[in-house]
Amino acid sequence: MLVYPKSKFIAWIYFDGAFTILVLLFSGLRFYQQRKLRPLARSYVVGNVAISLSNVCITAWTIVSAFTRMEYIKWEENPVGYPPPWRKNGHFLLWLAGYWYLICLWLIKLSFISTYFRVVPHLRTWARKALYITVAYVACSFVVCVLVHSLYCRPATINWIEGPSRCSPWLSVPSLSVMTAFNMSSDIGLLIIPLLVLRELHLRKVEVFAFVFVYAIGSVSIFASLLRYIFIRIAYRNGLGVRPGDDLAESIYRSAALDEKIKIWTTVEYSTASIAFCLPSLRNMMRRGGCRAVGVQIEEREMVSSGTYVSTVGETGVTGEEEEEEEKRDGSQAELAPGIGAAR
C-alpha cells in the first residue's frame, strides 16, 4: 500500500515554520527601523497595520497547517476511514482558510499601496492617475475572488461534506482560473507602478542591482501563484491524483501529496510578498553598522517598489546626532529627486 512518508510531513512543518520566522524577522526589522520616527505619516501607519494583520494570518495558518499534518501522521498508524482533515470539520476549516488566504494576500497588497501613495508625487498627474486605477482594480479583484470562493459551490455546505461529491473552488479549474488571473494581474499592476517614476531617479550601478534584486523577490510571489495553478490544473486532468484501482487509503495518500505541493507554493507566495515589502528595513541597519564608521552621509531619495529603495550618496562626515535627525526625517517625507517635491 502507498504510504506518504512521515518524514515529509515533518519536513513541510519545518518548511512553513522557517518561512514564517523569516516573515516575522523582516517585519520586526521594519518596526525597529521606525522606532524613532514620530509622528508616523498616515501611509506608514496603514502599511504597518496591514502587514501586522497579514503576519497574524500567516502565523495562524502555519499553526493550523502543522496541526493538520500531525493529524495525518496519527492517522497513518491506523489508516481506517477518512483522516481528520478529510472529515466534515476538516473540510469546513479548509473552506474558511480560503478566506484567510485571500485576506492575507490582499493585506500585503494594501501595504504596498500605502507606500505608493507616499512616494508617487502629486506633480506627476499621470502616475497618480495610474495609481488610482491600480487601487480600484486591486479592490475589485479582492471582491471578485471572495465572491467566487463564496458562490462557486452551491449550496455552501457542499464545500465541507465527506466523500467524492465534495466541491472546492480551489480544486476546480474554472473557479481557480478566475481567482488566479485576478490575483496575478493585480500583483503585476502593483509591480508596474514604481516603474512609472523610475526614470526620474539617477541610479548608480549598485542601486540598480539592489532594485532588481528586491523586485525579483517580489516577482517570486507571482511565480509561486502561477506554479500552484499549474500543479492543480495538471492534477485536475489526472483525477486529482487518484488512480483507478486505488483503495481509500491510497487515494488519500495521493491527494495528501498534492495538497502538500499546493501548500508549499502558497507559503512561498505570501512569504516572499511580505518579505519584499519589509526589505527596506535593512537599509538603516546596514547604514548604522558600516557607514558611520567610514564617515559617509547618506542623503536618501526613497522609493519603494515591492520593497525597493534608492539613494544618493555624498562624501561628507556625519555625527551620531545628525544621523538620528536624518532617520526621523525619513518618516516625514520621501523625495524622489530634487525639484519633484515630497509625496505626502
Whether residue 110 is contained in a domain is answered as yes
pLDDT at 243 over 70: no
Q: What pTM does this model have?
A: 0.78
- Going by C-alpha positions, the residue among 65, 63, 53 that lies closest to residue 102 is 53
Instruction: Report the chain's mean pLDDT, rounded to a whole number.
Output: 76
Please write down the HEC assignment for all residues of 109-146.
HHHHHHHHHHHCCCCCHHHHHHHHHHHHHHHHHHHHHH
Q: Look at residue 323 in the predicted model and tell me its pLDDT.
A: 42
Residues whose CB falls within 8 Å of the CB of residue 327, separated by 6 or more in sequence, listed in order: 33, 36, 37, 284
Whether residue 337 is contained in a domain is answered as no
Whether residue 289 is contained in a domain is answered as no
Burial 48-72 (b: 16+ CB within 10 A, else e): bebbebbbebbeebbeebbebbebb
pLDDT at 129 over 70: yes
Q: How confident is the model at residue 230 (pLDDT cuts 50, 70, 90)?
A: confident
For the chain, counts of helices (H) and of strands (E): 10, 2
Element housing 108 (H / E): helix 88-119
Whether residue 332 is contained in a domain is answered as no
Alpha carbons 286 and 169: distance in angstroms, whole number: 45
Whether residue 27 is contained in a domain is answered as yes
Between CA 211 and CA 109, with CA 190 as vertex, the angle to 5 degrees is 105
pLDDT digits (tens, 9 = 90+) for 256-265: 777 888 888 8
Q: Mean pLDDT across the stretch 102-110?
A: 94
Q: Mean pLDDT across the stretch 17-22?
A: 95
Q: Helix axis angle, 88-119 relative to 125-151, nearest 10°?
A: 170
The more confident residue out of 144 and 115 is 144
Cell of 161: 461534506
Distance between start and end Cα atoms, the chain: 63
Burial of 326 (0-12, 13-18, 19+ CB in 10 A): middle
Q: Look at residue 204 in the predicted model and tell me its pLDDT.
A: 72
pLDDT digits (tens, 9 = 90+) for 191-216: 888 887 777 666 677 667 777 777 88
Least trusted range by pLDDT, from 109-113, 146-150, 273-277, 320-324: 320-324
Whether residue 213 is contained in a domain is answered as yes
Residues whose CB falls within 8 Å of the CB of residue 288, separated by 6 or more in sequence, listed in order: 323
Q: How confident is the model at residue 318 (pLDDT cuts 50, 70, 90)?
A: very low
Residue owning grid cell 559617509: 296
- Going by C-alpha positions, the residue among 281, 307, 305, 269 that lies closest to residue 19 is 269
Q: What's the domain range around 83?
A: 6-283
pLDDT at 137 over 80: yes
* Contact between residue 262 and residue 232 where contact means Cβ atoms under 8 Å apart: yes
pLDDT digits (tens, 9 = 90+) for 34-63: 877 777 778 888 999 999 999 999 999 999
Whether residue 297 is contained in a domain is answered as no
Q: Mean pLDDT across the stretch 135-158?
A: 94
Alpha carbons 233 and 231: distance in angstroms, whole number: 6
How many domains does one find in the chain?
1
Q: How confident is the model at residue 334 (pLDDT cuts 50, 70, 90)?
A: very low
Q: What is the CATH number of the domain that holds 118?
A: 1.20.1070
